[in-house]
Amino acid sequence: MKRLVVVILLLATNSKAEDKSFFDDRERGWWWYEKIATAPKFEQKNGDKQAIPENLNLTPKQQLEAQGKAWEDAFAKSVVSPTEQNIKEYLYLTKKINEQAQKFSFAFKESIWVNPEFDYSLEKPVATQAIVTQNERDFSNVEKELKKIAKDYGLIFFFKGSCPHCHSFSPLLKKFAEHYEFTILPVTLDGESLAEFSKPKKNIFLGEKLNVSVVPALYLVHPDSNTISPISFGYTDWSNLMQKIITAVKRDTRMERR
C-alpha cells in the first residue's frame, strides 16, 4: 500500500495538466479505468550500488574471496569516510551477502531433510523429549556395559581412615559395586578402616608401586592379564564413575592390543 501511494504521488506531480484534472474529476469514475502515464524512469548514478563481483572465470572459492574483499573495502570506506553514498554501498553489499547466506542456509536445511544420513540430530537429538529418550537409552546401554565389565574386572579402592573424603566416597562406592556386581578390594594406607569396609587389606607396598599419592583412589584390575589402570582420584559422583570405568576399560583394551 505504501508503495502504491508513492507511485500515485509521483504521477500526480509529474503528469500533464489534463492528466491531473482526471484525478480531481470524481464523475469520470475510478482512476484505474484510465490509462495512467507511467512514472518517469530515473537513471541510476554511477556508484549508487556497488555490485558484488561476479566473474564466470573465477572458481566458487575465488568468487567468495572477491565478495568478501568488496564488502571489507566498502566497510572500511564507510568508516573512514562516512558519507551517505559510502554507507549506502556498504549496506547494499551487506544485504546481498545476507540474502546469499539465507539461500544457502535454506538449501542446506532442505538437503538434510531429504537426506537423513546427514542429519546429526537423529544421532544427537535437540528436541527436549527426544533428548530425554536418548539419555534414557544411553543410560540403559551404559548399565548393561558396566554389568558386563564387572564380570571380567575388579576394583581396588585405596583409602586412609584419616581422610574425610574417603569416608564420604565409601558409601557411594559400596552401593555402586553392589549394583553392578563388581568385586572390590579395599586397601588401607594407614592401617585404619572405614564403616563400609571394616576389614581392608593393608598393602602400602602396592600403593607405593602404583604411586598412589592422593586418596580416595580407585583402580581397575583385570585378573586374567594382571593389568591395573587408574579410574579416579578424590570424590567422584555416580555418573562420572560410570563413565570413568568405561573409559578405563577402553584404555586397557587398547594397551592390550599393542
Residue 32 in this model has a pLDDT that exceeds 80: no
**pLDDT at position 235 over 90:** yes
Rg (CA), the chain: 38
Per-residue pLDDT at 36 exceeds 70: no
Confidence check: pLDDT of 247 > 50? yes
Question: In this structure, which topology does domain 151-257 adopt according to CATH?
Answer: Glutaredoxin (3.40.30)
Query: How crowded is residue 7: how many other Cβ atoms within 10 Å of its Cβ?
Result: 13
Residue 148 has pLDDT above 70, yes or no: yes
Q: Is 181 helix (H, G, I), strand (E, B) or coil?
A: coil
pLDDT, the chain, mean:
80
Is the model's pLDDT at 65 over the cut of 60?
A: yes
| 220 neighbors 155 (Cβ within 8 angstroms) | yes
Element (H, E) at 170: helix 164-180
Instruction: Say what the pLDDT of residue 2 is.
Output: 44
Of the listed ranges 46-55, 95-104, 174-183, the one predicted with least confidence: 46-55
Q: Tell me which residue has cell 543410560.
A: 139
DSSP run (H or E) holding 221:
strand 217-222
Q: Where are the domains of the chain?
A: 2-33, 60-114, 151-257
Ranking 36-45, 78-87, 179-188 by mean pLDDT, the lowest is 36-45
Q: pLDDT: is 26 or 234 the higher one?
A: 234
Cell numbers 592390550: residue: 256
- % of the chain residues with pLDDT over 90: 53
Query: Looking at residue 138, what is its pLDDT?
Result: 72
Work out the average pLDDT over 237-253. 89
pLDDT of residue 30: 40
pLDDT band at 12 (very low <50, low <70, confident <90, very high): very low
Query: Which burial class, exposed, middle or buried, applies to 166 when counting CB atoms under 10 A from its CB (0-12, 13-18, 19+)?
Result: buried
Higher per-residue pLDDT: 27 or 257: 257
